[in-house]
Amino acid sequence: MSNTFNPYDNYLEVMERAAKMLGLAPNDYVALKQPERELKVSVPVEMDDGRIQVFEGYRVQHSSSRGPCKGGLRYHQDVNIDEVKALAAWMSLKCAVVNIPYGGGKGAVKVDPSKLSVHELKNLTRRYTAMILPLIGPERDIPAPDVGTNAEVMGWIMDTYSMFMGYTVPGIVTGKPLDIGGSLGRREATGRGVMFVVREYLHRKGIPMIGTRVAVQGMGNVGGTAAQLLSNEGCRIVAASDVSGGLYNPKGLKISEIVAHLSTRGNKLSDFEQAGAKHITNEELLACDTDILLPAALENQITAQNAAKIKASIIVEGANGPTTAEADAILEQMGKKVVPDVLANAGGVVVSYFEWVQNIQSLMWDEEEINRNLEKIMIRAFNEVWEATTSHDTTMRMGAYMVAIGRITKAKKIRGVFP
């Protein structure tokens, strides 16, 4: 599905509604309506066949009021500046929801990484890093993986930045390989956070995890890990998909087999068969018979066109911005409950924060400590969002936005407007 909606308009609409619900004056939140900085770069790369190809890239810093900007780097052929601006703004909110000392940023390059050789991707990453160098740094803006990038790409960024500085700077990126300062538990952190949030939500509603049916759109880092961990906790994963399509089995899919198949670069779900499972489209997955729908692919997947077809009563947003504002209103009218992205997928940035703290202190935590601290922060954030939601008798999205905007505007007020 293409991005026919502007996700930045989506952010603005919800942010303004939450600010008004909090009783804020326009002066309190006017600065949140646009990013602090936007950098557009044209990145030349010498391709393997000798051609020079120029890729468009961006780095956007939405807010640094609560700390350095933090946010992933996306490689995708359809990215545009409005998407990057929205993703950066959502990072400001997410870091505030989980109360870690960061603002929000995001970067992207308009490229289909599957079409580039490893050598070309490495050169693209190094040149892009050099071109956004004036903005980034462990105290300024710290990239991390997102769609289309991974630990290997973060390693190239870390090395490039370090070469410019003349010494090794592990804290410049998070989500790095373990051998160069990455953190245990980072790769699984977003999916693990999703699992904690699902567990807390079901607990509040008195629904047992065992047997609860889940459909996962996008079996990548977030969706694949969440599916595996939810399945370990007794949930029945009835549907799972990637960009090529999905599989459906009302009795439950064997998730380990699917994750193992997709772990090989180039493998797709459309090539995979499992006894009892039938192939479905991504549209069919969104409308399938399930208790929980977990969109974990891209933004703008649940729209005014398909929202009314959703059978799941709970939607947990593993992806950033998977629901358009129009679709959100339809879901609310239908009595569906949405656990919003800025809470549901915040586990990744929480462990990124742990990674950065370890890098700065030159310390290494064990995995148990990381997972325990992640769980503590996710439960605390869930409870705070729940409290804001119930006390204002609103949706969890509004509850989360109110928690976040309350914190960011408070920081802004304390700091004042320079000069």
Q: Which residues of the shown chain bind ligand NAD in the complex (CB under 6 A)? A: 1, 145-148, 190, 217-223, 241-243, 282, 296-298, 318-320, 345, 348
Interatomic CA distance for residues 405 and 146, integer angstroms = 24
CA neighbor of 374 nearest in space, from 221, 183, 117: 183
Q: How far apart are CA 362 and CA 366, in angstroms?
A: 14
Nearer of residues 222 and 312 to ligand NAD, judged by Cβ: 222
Based on the residue annotation, tell me whether 106 is a catalytic residue of this protein.
yes
Give backbone dihedrals phi and psi of 39, rounded to 5 degrees, phi first: -120, 130
Provide, rounded to whole angstroms, the least separation between the CB of residue 219 and ligand NAD: 5
Query: What is the side-by-side strand order in the sheet with 141-145?
Result: 37-46, 52-63, 103-109, 69-75, 141-145
Closest CA to 80 of 47, 44, 135, 38: 38
Catalytic pick among 85, 94, 106, 122: 106
How buried is residue 316: exposed, middle or buried, by Cβ count under 10 Å (0-12/13-18/19+)? Answer: buried
- CA dihedral (211, 207, 222, 161) in degrees, to 10, reads -150
Q: Distance (Å, rounded) from C-alpha 350 to C-alpha 362?
A: 18
The residue nearest ligand NAD at its CB is 220
Phi, psi torsion values for 369, nearest 5 degrees: -65, -40
Q: Which is nearer to ligand NAD, 314 or 343 (CB)?
A: 343
Q: Which is nearer to ligand NAD, 87 or 402 (CB)?
A: 87
Q: Minimum distance between the CB of residue 241 and ligand NAD, rounded to whole angstroms?
A: 5
Residue 375 near residue 123, CB atoms below 8 Å: no
- Closest approach of ligand NAD to the CB of residue 348, in Å: 3
Nearer to ligand NAD by Cβ, of 28 and 35: the residue is 35
331 contacts 309 by C-beta, under 8 angstroms:
no
State the minimum distance, in angstroms, from the CB of residue 163 to ligand NAD: 26
How far apart are CB 409 and ligand NAD at their closest, in Å? 24
Which residue, 90 or 386, is less far from ligand NAD as judged by CB?
Answer: 90
Q: Name the residues annotated as catalytic.
A: 106
